[in-house]
Amino acid sequence: MTSLSSPARRVRDAGPSGWLAAPALVFFLLFAVIPLLGVVFLSFTSWDGLREIKLDGLSSWATVLTDPVTGNALLVTAKIMFFSFIVQAPVSLLLGVFTAGGQKYRAALAVLYFLPLLLSSAAVAIAFKALLDPNFGLGPGFHLPLLTQDWLGNSDLVLFVVVFVIAWQFVPFHTLIYQGGVRQIPASLYEAAEIDGAGRFRQFWNITLPQLKYTMITSSTLMVVGSLAYFDLIFVLTGGGPGYSTRLLPLHMYLTGFKANDMGAASALGVILIVIGLGLALLLQRLGGKNRNASQLEGA
């Protein structure tokens, strides 16, 4: 038994030659790992960007870790991550399943849903900033009191506005991922379920969802880790304000580095950001389960 199966298993586990990863790895080393080491080094210095870089021990770390704005930035980041996931995941899953259908009108709608993905974050932010302006925006323009809120100036409201705009921009991308995932599911599974008398809901619950497990992990990883990198959109839309209401970690890092010119503290924040990003990505991979290398299509 062992003598027969083990060579076959080994080939499958090892996958294609590791050399295929070499070009990407070199690129990654040059443009990610080396700068990363630079950032770690800078976090132990004090540097205003102009003068000599001075080794300064843990003082940048002390500044960053005792600054209440850092704690607030972490909280804002966590909130945006959580709410973005809660909003985007179900919407893009349902939209993905919907647009995976073969009907012509669905294909047409899929193209429309896809449009926001073609716009740059800065353009999206400028457009929404104009639409949501409390004095010249959509609400005051059409005299709609309900829409005439201080969307971007109210500390309690602004976080949800940001989550909405992020969702508007990124739901199409995740919809596309889910659409692809759904189309991979063999039709034979649904045919068999139909013969067994399963309705649409049961088909969705018992076939579509489990079959999409890995699509979900991919999409969720991108959503969660991606929300650590939201910067351009929020920078243009609110600049982190009002106050510190939308100053999430990457923005806090940028403003510390390039507005306050404290590169040491900004580098320490960068290291925190990377550690959190790595941790979350690893965690999500774990959630995939022990047998994640097994085929999704087994039994199909």
- As to burial, measured by CB atoms within 10 angstroms (0-12 exposed, 13-18 middle, 19+ buried), residue 6 is exposed
Nearest to 269 by CA among 259, 257, 279, 283: 257
CB nearer another protein, residue 116 or residue 153: 153
270 SS3 class:
helix
Q: Alpha-carbon distance 46 to 23, whole Å?
A: 35
Binding footprint of another protein on the chain (CB under 8 A):
13-15, 18, 21, 28, 31-32, 35-36, 38-39, 48-51, 129, 132-136, 150-155, 221-222, 225-226, 228-229, 231, 238-239, 241-244, 250, 253-255, 258-262, 267, 270-271, 273-274, 277-278, 281-282, 285, 293
- Number of Cα atoms under 13 Å in the Cβ half of residue 243: 11
Closest distance to another protein from the beta carbon of 188 (Å):
30
Nearest to 164 by CA among 135, 133, 130, 128: 128
Nearest to 237 by CA among 167, 172, 162: 162
Closest distance to another protein from the beta carbon of 93 (Å):
20
CB nearer another protein, residue 110 or residue 272: 272
Closest distance to another protein from the beta carbon of 185 (Å):
23
Quick check: 148 and 72 in contact, CB under 8 A? no
Q: How far is CA 209 from the centre of its chain?
A: 21
Closest distance to another protein from the beta carbon of 172 (Å):
18
CB nearer another protein, residue 142 or residue 201: 142
Closest distance to another protein from the beta carbon of 239 (Å):
6
Closest distance to another protein from the beta carbon of 106 (Å):
31
CB nearer another protein, residue 113 or residue 262: 262
Quick check: 61 and 43 in contact, CB under 8 A? yes
Closest distance to another protein from the beta carbon of 162 (Å):
12
Match 């010119």 to its residue by tokens: 261
Structure token digits, residue 153:
């100036």
CB nearer another protein, residue 165 or residue 253: 253
3-state helix, strand, coil in the chain (%, to 5): 70, 0, 25
CB nearer another protein, residue 204 or residue 214: 214
CB nearer another protein, residue 179 or residue 238: 238
